[in-house]
Amino acid sequence: MVYADTAVMKLAFSYYAETRLDFVGCVLAAYHSVHGIAILTFDKKLNNFIKRQDSLN
């Protein structure tokens, strides 16, 4: 599999290194941060992380 959105992947790796989220959650959070895509999940940690990131921006 080849993935071409380097901005999302770089941010996802950064989130993964800085948080206790799983990698898939980091990719979803990065998509939200870079592209503004709404993320719907039952993962409380991910929801809280996204809310904190939104409040920083």
What tens digit of pLDDT does each residue of 26-52 get? 999 999 999 999 999 999 999 999 999
Inter-residue long-range contacts of 49-54, CB under 8 Å, 24+ positions, other chains counted: 49/15, 49/19, 49/21, 49/25, 53/29
Measured over all CA atoms, what is the biggest interatomic distance in the chain, rounded to whole angstroms?
Answer: 34
pLDDT at 46: 97
**Residues, the chain:** 57
> What are the tokens at 26?
């980091």
What Rg, from alpha-carbon coordinates, does the chain have?
Answer: 11
Q: What is the pLDDT of residues 2-31, one digit of tens each?
A: 677 999 999 999 999 999 999 999 999 999
Burial (Cβ within 10 Å: 0-12, 13-18, ≥19) of residue 55:
exposed
